[in-house]
Structure 1
């Protein structure tokens, strides 16, 4: 039974089992780094750099404007709808300094999605890009939004890129948006040029005060606002810092591709970088060639990412032309990391790439493989972080089950959310006696390493057999012609569900579905092997590169419904 913590026996001696956590709010990380490393570079963005002193001064200036001119007070929600840019970092810390709660918003949201999130959160103001202004302004009258703060990518680019970029933007998006600094519209450049207003300090309670409303993806229903406190975020950041014990404050740099509007990028790139006084090398979106060039030129030491990012780099035709040897450590999250991808990336960089695990509701990291000085188990999500407990419960009885058996992963620790915003019933469903019921299926081995087999909702039941998509995907990824693969259960009148594989082939491949099927059946039991295959040029993904299996299933259901209407 899973009553002990066997994983503590495999911890390297440098990682303590329990930590003393700071009771300071998240924004104190920036203040402390600015005091200790004022002239150190905090951000590199497309050739321009900001020191910690500059970053803190800009955040303070903006915080004063939020408090003074926009009347933002403690607990007010302020949304950020930006890609990874200096403005996103400045805005995040400014909101917290002003006493507000950050609402992270995906810049790809449609009007409908944006309206839902603004209504649900009750945000009073939003910081967004000029090209997104038309979308936000249409939504504004239907929500509690009172102010729109507008910025542009060009505003923070070096000369002459700042002059060239508007032409590139017009060609790419077909629009030029001009907003004046008046009324309910505010320009960030004007705010930062204005005379700083005094920031009024407020009483903070790191344990109780919410720092962030982070909305879950909504793949299984309406998105819910996860309430993460200052303590949640600080605890998870400090756990991550201990995990990276070979990394010294003020001596490293982090490649920031994972979006900050996703909690994984926000914690493991933005807050961790600020806390450790590292340089953040920001890229507003993932492009394989740009990323390869950036790594060679800027030489980042840490590279948190997602499997699709590492796959994209490994399969770029010019990958071998670039020096990636600066990378010392990568923790992959957001989706399962194929073993083949892990091995190849480590060969190319000479650094360590390990799989971790987490959820929005856990700030987000709960488990990771060790980077150094301890066993790294391929195919495993690793072991729980310091002060993090985890166990496997029976799906039928919710009782602990023996080692090696599959059940639901539940976790507990100081990084676990306060609850869902305005959703007490949903909170009760997933938070029980301090334990977070993840909805993920997995098992633990005798050493305390955990393995995720799939989400409870993604498990395929075909002909009475339980089939886990990840097991199928691991086999498909090992095929030399497969670039990306996802398996899903689609409705079947005889078996209940049947397994379908969606595959993106590597460039130039001519392999057929029959050949892939023959290969899969060598390594999978007959009931697990896909019955159907579909080749696609690309797979639907979230902004962080997680493949949207549910979207593929919904497409299949729609096809079946349309077909049945024809024959009705």
Structure 2
């Protein structure tokens, strides 16, 4: 018999070791590890009764409430593959995820039912509420899986704008959870962690939820993040650990002004987008702590590098690779092979190790482009100094990161180009003090249509997820073109943002 490994063990083992400890705080609910694991096994049994088998894909459309880990670990306990659905998508976008992943069923929280039911119907699959899964007789234990079996499929957009399913294995996710809590961060079993990062997103899932459960610590759920709400909850529940994207740190700094009591945060981790130095300094001053900035992608489970106590921190960098992972800088202009560059030179960040995904679901060509010579090509440009600290300088692709969510300009452009009043459009990110970057559509309009910025923004809201539609519209007579008639986005950024 070959070795077995399941991500479900993260919760199963903590239920065995710390049965009476509180695993999750969700409003008035306080759920122990033993109860949460029993509920997960109950969900697993109910999913089996509905025809789900090991290897089948189960989609989850659930906000940051205790139902998420119940169903997530329930599906894993059954040996199924979890497909988290981004909560900011439109019904059409969600239906694409369900169809492309081959999901056999959608578990949809009542708060998402209006959109989820439409998406499930379009995909031709049944939809159930988490509460529907809690009346079965629980399974005795979890199904065994091979380390290389898929555990989770995370949807990430590519440069083509069409989302791709990144297949993450049990080994990928168990190892990334382990190195995050035991090597990369000073995480402790008595931590109380704020769970405000979306659990459908890789950062909140691996670093937040799974890391907390691996230690037997407590996760305090916050479904709708605002600076005020987060501070109130952190003070009330004596939260000691905060994981967030830069926009969350901006909100916490603003909300902290003039408050008599602030949470005593021992460990803060930032990722998802570059953290402005000014924010880091203001946060450290207000909360008398320091933020450890890291870096990762859906395809790397996610953590690839982070500032770590072991190596010391260097503000403005993304630190060192995590244990067992190699991160180097390669020549960006060579596609067919990896040619590593010496220290200090600018190139593409490439990653190799236990965290690199198994590939894109049903997309062998995309996978072959992404993994070259055993290295994952991140598409991000950066440097690695003589001390091993890595710094992100720019992106090879034109990705915009708004509030920690990746937005792919081409996808937005495709939607806007369908408006009858739009002749040509290019989408860029412009610096924004709250979201890091804001989405700006630069439009050549049809003069006869009399299109206004507000009209186009309203139109795009119906066709793009809440994190994707442009908040800014600029009208121009022509877009700057290069010799091959490609739109020069760097020129647009210079003129529009400048």
TM class by shorter chain equals 0.7 to 0.9
> Which position in structure 2 is the counterpart of 1:405?
345
For residues 505-544 of structure 1, the aligned pairs below 5 Å read none
Determine if the alignment matches structure 1 residue 285 to structure 2 residue 264.
no
Matched-pair contact (CA < 8 Å) for 2:184–2:322: no
Q: Distance in 2 between matches of 1:235 and 1:144?
A: 35
Q: Secondary structure at the match of 2:40?
A: helix
Corresponding residue for residue 247 of structure 1: 187
Q: 1:449 to 1:220 in 2, by over 3 A?
A: farther
Equivalence for 2:112:
132
Bigger Cα displacement from structure 2, 135-144 vs 76-85? 135-144
Given candidates 302, 315, 318, the residue that maps to 1:381 is: 318
Structure 1 residue 303 and structure 2 residue 283: aligned? no
Q: How far off its partner does 1:107 sit?
A: 1.9
Structure 2: runs of 5+ lacking an equivalent: 402-408, 410-425, 436-459, 480-498
User: 1:410 touches 1:435 (CA, 8 Å); kept in 2?
Assistant: yes
- Per the normalisation by structure 1, the TM-score is 0.70
Q: Find the partner of 2:88 among 102, 108, 131.
A: 108
Q: Tell me if 1:95 matches 2:32.
A: no
In 2, Cα distance between the equivalents of 1:232 and 1:246? 21
Match for residue 196 of structure 1?
137
Equivalent residues in 2 for 1:14-33, closer than 5 Å: 24-33=5-14
* CA deviation after TM superposition for structure 1 residue 99, in Å: 1.2
Shift of 1:223: 0.6
Change (3 A) 1:547 1:270: same
Identify if the C-alpha distance between structure 1 residues 189 and 458 changes in structure 2 by more than 3 Å, giving closer, same or farther. closer
Contact 1:45 1:281 in 2 (8 A): yes
Corresponding residue for residue 444 of structure 1: 384
The 5-angstrom pairing of residues 417-436 of structure 1 reads: 417-436=357-376
Q: Does 1:345 align with 2:283?
A: yes
SS at match of 2:265: coil
For 1:435-474, list aligned pairs within 5 A: 435-458=375-398
- Deviation (angstroms), 1:346: 1.5
Matched, 1:268 2:207: yes
Structure 2 residue 320 is the aligned partner of structure 1 residue 366:
no
Cα distance, 1:302 vs structure 2:
1.2
1:148 to 96, 102, 127: 127
The count of corresponding residues between Structure 1 and Structure 2 is 427
Of residues 82-91 and 209-218 in structure 1, the stretch that sits farther from structure 2 once superposed is 209-218
SS at match of 1:304: strand
CA contact (8 A) 1:23 1:231 kept: no
Q: Name 2:331's counterpart in structure 1.
A: 394
Give the drift of 1:283.
0.3
Instruction: State the partner residue of 1:259.
Output: 198
TM-superposed CA distance for 1:125, in Å, is 0.9
The SS at the match of 2:163 is coil
Deviation at 1:115, TM superposition (A): 1.2
325 and 290 in structure 1: CA distance in 2 versus 1, 3 angstrom threshold: closer
Say if 1:293 and 1:322, in contact at 8 Å, map to a contact too. Answer: no
TM-score norm. by structure 2 comes to: 0.79
Displacement of 1:377 in angstroms is 0.8
**1:176-195 alignment runs, 5 A limit:** 188-192=130-134, 194-195=135-136
Cα offsets for 1:452-476 (capped at 9, x unmatched): 01110239xxxxxxxxx99xxxxxx
Distance 1:31 1:198 in 2: 12
Distance 1:243 1:220, change over 3 A: farther
- CA-to-aligned-CA distance 1:41-63 (integer Å, 9 cap, x gap): 00011132101111011111111
> Once the 2 structures are TM-superposed, how far is the Cα of residue 405 of structure 1 from its aligned partner?
1.5
Residue 45 of structure 2 is matched in structure 1 by 64
Contact kept? 2:45, 2:136, Cα under 8 Å: no
Distance 2:363 2:428 in 1: 35
**1:79-94, aligned counterparts within 5 Å?**
79-94=59-74
RMSD of Structure 2 on Structure 1 (CA): 3.1
1:182-213 CA distances to partner (integer Å, 9 max, x unpaired)?
A: xxxxxx33532x2515457544102x210001
Q: Cα distance, 1:396 vs. partner?
A: 2.6
